[in-house]
Structure 1
Amino acid sequence: MTTPRKTKAFAPASIGNVSLGFDLLGAALAPVEGEFLGDWVEVTDADNFDLTVDGRFAHKLPAGSENNIVTKCYHYFQEKLVNAGLAKLNVALHLHKALPIGSGLGSSAASIVAAFYALNEHAHAPFDKDTLLEMMGELEGQISGSVHYDNVAPSYLGGLVLMTGESSPLAAKLPCFDSWYWVVCYSGISVSTAEARRLLPSEYNLADTLSFGRQLGVFVHSLYAGDEELAAKMMTDVIAERHRKALLPRFDDARSAAFANNALAFGISGSGPTVFAVSRSLEDARATQAWLDANYIQNEDGFSHVCKLSYEGTHTQTR
């Protein structure tokens, strides 16, 4: 009896926007303790499609496999195979849902990225990196209401990523400071990305627009120049934070506590409610984490991690 072939992919959590780069910057995360912070999807040869789900936050997903984004990824991938003149896959999928929904940690993006990456690898990689990333963005857009790549791209590619707005390459990896620790804290409540986007104005004044462009340009320059102090100074949000922070209880207190513990930067991860802080030392990062654990987390679903950037991004295990 032949053992069914299996392909398992992990996609890490991510910080969308990174404060200064609304819809244009994203960063993939890896906890310093060594555990995984992200979602897994496993593809297995099977006569009939089926989706099974487990994990800490599986019970928070919509009821019915047909409503799961991973099932939608499967159907979309099959459609793309047919359009390319290739045979469909005969597989079943399993999702290990370790990220909370509506957390600001790229939860839907991680499931989407892991699903597409595993399906593509199982099919012997018929689609190149940009094509696969475009597919990931399309499915993410079905959830958030618009196509954007600031979670799917870093989760897929790893590291700190800038979206180009071009068809190829869709995203470019940026250098960053290896000394930085990234503290992330999920409060335990849920914030819809679509709802958070509706809080934003449809137009911005010229001063904010100029500040946004200047900060992003200087930040990228600082990364390549190795100017840590200037890069950190640019990490403020002139686009979304003042409109969204009302959704995040004790946000201003959390910011003050982070800077009191020598944080270089502090902001909302994606649409929230997760917040992030950047620290130069593990000691400072732990101090910020301790305050957030005691004061920002609101229920048993909440958690925090001290992270470095995940430069590996999505990867597979095939057997």
Structure 2
Amino acid sequence: MANTRAFAPASIGNVSLGFDILGAALAPIDGELLGDWVEVEDAPQFSLSVDGRFADRLPPGENSNIVTRCYDFFQQALVSNNKPILQVKMHLHKALPIGSGLGSSAASIVAAFYALNEHANKAFDQDTLLLMMGELEGQISGSIHYDNVAPSYLGGMTLMTGKERPVCSTLPVFDDWYWITCYSGLSVSTAAARNILPRQYELGTTLTFGRQVGVFVHALHTGDRALAASVMQDVIAEKHRKTLLPKFDEARAYSLQQNGLAFGISGSGPTVFAVSNQLESAKRIQTWLNEHYIQNQDGFSHICQIDSAGARVLAA
């Protein structure tokens, strides 16, 4: 029986300044794989099995699982393009917590589509597959956005173009930046975190948003680390969403005191991230977050750098 196992990394959506249009994939510096993996294996009929640290938090039944929906969507796409359908069963290893702000649903979606496409001898090209991923992610969050699925699939830091082809552009990153991520152990619904936001923003706020994104992209391309860090501030969502995150302000204050370059909410939260260009500073920030920001036994933290690989096949 042929089988294909694919891994998709966790990601930071928004990266503070780029609401819905910026995302970055994460790779812990200790070599741990932070993300979900999905295995596809030849079988006479479809079934889905699940394991992993956070498997018990998924909705019960294979028909309610996003991986099953990915399978159905992929099969329909094969039929629509006159390609042979797959006869497979699937397995999801759920290592990312649901509602964490680490792109949990995106990682499952990306791993599922990537594994299915590899098993089908790369039936669809990169942009087509990314559009499928965005469609499924939108069914969960209530709107189509690529700030988690794009970096999880392609790796690196991605900027969404607003076009179908190409969906996104990969940006240069600073290899000497450490990204300290900390999941508190709480759960925040992406849909709920979107509903808490205003429906309209003042002109000054939108101008600041656009300026920050432009300056940040310019700074990445010119290698200006100080300029890039100076605009990593969220003027769209943070002041509203931080009300859902206990000890957010204290965590920010400590991180900046420890020479952190930036601090923000990863996606919709409750995961937060700090950026540092000093490993010892990153370790101090991680220790404080472990002791003060984590709320229960589900919480965890990692010191990461940007994962340049994105989704990839793992040895079965």
Q: Residues of 1 paired with 2:267 and 2:65: CA distance? A: 21
Name the residue aligned to 1:112.
Answer: 109
The C-alpha deviation readout for 1:164-215, integer Å capped at 9, x for no partner, is 0011110110001100000000000000000000001111100000000000
Give the 4+ runs in structure 1 shifted more than 2 A. none
Name the residue aligned to 1:181.
Answer: 178
Name the residue aligned to 1:48.
Answer: 45
What is the root-mean-square deviation of aligned Cα atoms in Å?
A: 0.6
Name the residue aligned to 1:91.
Answer: 88
Q: Residues of 1 paired with 2:154 and 2:84: CA distance? A: 27
Pick one of 101, 119, 130 that aligns with 1:122: 119
Name the residue aligned to 2:224.
Answer: 227
Shift of 1:126: 1.1
**1:18 is matched by which residue type in structure 2?**
V
The C-alpha deviation readout for 1:129-155, integer Å capped at 9, x for no partner, is 000000000000011000000000000
Q: Which SS does the other structure have where 2:296 is aligned?
A: coil
Paired positions, count: 316
Q: Residues of 1 paired with 2:24 and 2:202: CA distance? A: 28
Shift of 1:96: 0.2
**2:297 is matched by which residue type in structure 1?**
E
Pick one of 241, 261, 269 that aligns with 1:272: 269
Q: Residues of 2 paired with 1:260 and 1:53: CA distance? A: 42
Sequence identity percentage? 67
Q: Residues of 2 paired with 1:64 and 1:245: CA distance? A: 33
Any residues of structure 2 matched to 1:89-168 within 5 Å, and which? 89-168=86-165
**1:39 is matched by which residue type in structure 2?**
D
With normalisation by structure 2, the TM-score equals 0.99
Shift of 1:317: 3.2
Q: Which SS does the other structure have where 1:239 is aligned?
A: coil
Q: Residues of 2 paired with 1:176 and 1:35: CA distance? A: 21
Name the residue aligned to 1:237.
Answer: 234
Q: Which SS does the other structure have where 1:172 is aligned?
A: strand
**2:47 is matched by which residue type in structure 1?**
D
Q: Residues of 2 paired with 1:167 and 1:27: CA distance? A: 20
Residue 304 of structure 2 is aligned to residue 307 of structure 1: yes
The C-alpha deviation readout for 1:108-142, integer Å capped at 9, x for no partner, is 00000000000000000010000000000000001
Contact 1:6 1:318 in 2 (8 A): no
